[in-house]
Structure 1
Amino acid sequence: MIIVQAKAIPKDETSKNEIIGFAQDLIEKSREEAGNVDYNLLVNTDDDTLLFVEQWDSIEILNNHLKTEHFIKFGENIGDLVAEDLKISVFDANPTSL
């Protein structure tokens, strides 16, 4: 399983709300993609940063996601709303028991 964490730092409160609005379409369509396990957007209440947390069945499926119209459109829509480039971490994880 592939896990993605993408941190977005909005320029201000208005930008944060606009990013969240644009994210709604991205999240909905991404969850419908074959091979998507989970796709969420979390808001840090301390500093208003946004964190996308995604789970995909494989790196190939994730790479296909990065080419979708809704993913590309989201990136175009938020380009002027973030203070810096998204910080993206990708992990290859295997389920385990505690």
Structure 2
Amino acid sequence: MSEQYNWPSSMLYHPTGDPINIKPIDNNESFGTDELETFIGGPIDHIKLDNGMLVINEQGKEMNLPLNDMASKNGYSLYGNLIFVPKIIQAEPVKFDIKNL
């Protein structure tokens, strides 16, 4: 099963300050590359996590962007804005044997 992400529940993290909930324009299911590059401030890359993914500026360090506090608290050295996109968790259906209930 391929991983699916809940793009409308994405959070934008500036290097400092509180996160901001962001949504794709026109109620789309996901962001376009140009939208992501606008939020991130440059070319994008991503890091997969157990519970989602981070969309990052792949040239943040080279662009001398400030270290992102949220990322550094979680063990990453990432620079500039980043976006956390939660993974959609789909539970396996539970099968009951009604004879034994």
* TM-score normalized with structure 1 length: 0.28
* TM-score normalized with structure 2 length: 0.28
Structure with greater helix percent:
1
| Greater RCO (Cα-Cα under 8 Å, separation 6 or more) | 1
